[in-house]
Amino acid sequence: MKYYDQHLHTSLSFDSDETFENYLKHQPEYFTATDHFDLKNPGTNFADEIPDYNELSRSLNSLSETYETNFLRGVEIGVVPGQESDIEDYLRKHPYDLKLVSIHQNGRFDYMDPAVLKKNKYDVVKMYFDQMDRVLDTFKDGHILTHFEYGLRQFDFSKKELEENFERELTSIFKKVINREMAVEINAKSFGPYKNAELYHYAVPLYQSLGGKLFTLGSDAHKAEDYQMLFPEMSAMLKIFDVNHLVVFQGKERYITKLPDSE
């Protein structure tokens, strides 16, 4: 099995209008969209953003009649403390093959909201990492922890600043990821557009030093042209740290694959 993109969005997400068919022009062996699930989303006036599961099922059933691709159901779950039981109730009734766990917002604001820039950056990031740490205790589902630095994206943060101010928080987070046998995502939006590749050069060896071995690459594409964006560059970064394999999740099964550029 070749590695495939495990983080992308379609028109079933509130912030994308991309079609399944445009992604399928890349002729992937496997395809899974991971559309946004965010309850009381501040970015949409606190609406519940839940991808239409029935529409997803109809689309995949229809596409499977035309394409040789293997289709899987995926979702990106944004978790705010206090929402865990509601999310878990939904997931029991709507099974997914791939579940990403993300921290996007805290019930009051999204960490990408411009208003965040009026706050002290260290206070915001402490809040963000504390939320992530708590969620890993209280929300028991999920395969992959995505874009660990989402809450830092609006600020200038160096690798040294991360180490000096938040190594304790990240150590706790990564230990919980390891204990839960989740993977850590290398996120293309973080790596490229948000210019946070340096932060991964700190986080990857820290995670490894604690026993972490499971990595994924995700484009976080919201349009088909970004499918597998920066995969060669992110693979090259992982090779620096002697990482030569990635993990793919398909329900209760997981598979180890080679880095995309080392097939």
Q: Interhelix angle for 197-209 vs 159-179, to 10°?
A: 40
Helices (H), the chain: 20-24, 53-64, 84-93, 121-138, 159-179, 188-191, 197-209, 231-240
* CA atoms within a 13 Å half-sphere pointing along the CA-CB vector of 84: 13
Helix (H, G, I), strand (E, B) or coil at 148: coil
- Among residues 133, 157, 154, the alpha carbon closest in space to that of 145 is found at 133
Per-residue pLDDT of the chain (263 residues; tens, 9 = 90+): 999 999 999 999 999 999 999 999 999 999 999 999 999 999 999 999 999 999 999 999 999 999 999 999 999 999 999 999 999 999 999 999 999 999 999 999 999 999 999 999 999 999 999 999 999 999 999 999 999 999 999 999 999 999 999 999 999 999 999 999 999 999 999 999 999 999 999 999 999 999 999 999 999 999 999 999 999 999 999 999 999 999 999 999 999 999 997 54
3-state secondary structure 191-220: HCCCCCHHHHHHHHHHHHHCCCCCEEEECC
- Locate 126 and state its tokens: 């402490």
Q: What are phi and psi of 124, to 5 degrees?
A: -65, -45
d(CA 198, CA 177): 21
DSSP 8-class letter at 143: S
Model confidence over 186-206: pLDDT tens digits?
A: 999 999 999 999 999 999 999
Q: How many CB atoms lie within 10 A of CB 8?
A: 29
- Among residues 112, 198, 147, the alpha carbon closest in space to that of 6 is found at 147
- Look up the pTM and report it: 0.97
- Locate 62 and state its tokens: 């229809």
d(CA 224, CA 80): 29
d(CA 149, CA 159): 12
In 124-151, which positions are buried (b, 16+ CB within 10 angstroms) versus exposed (e)? bbeebbebbbbbbeebeebbbbbbbbbb
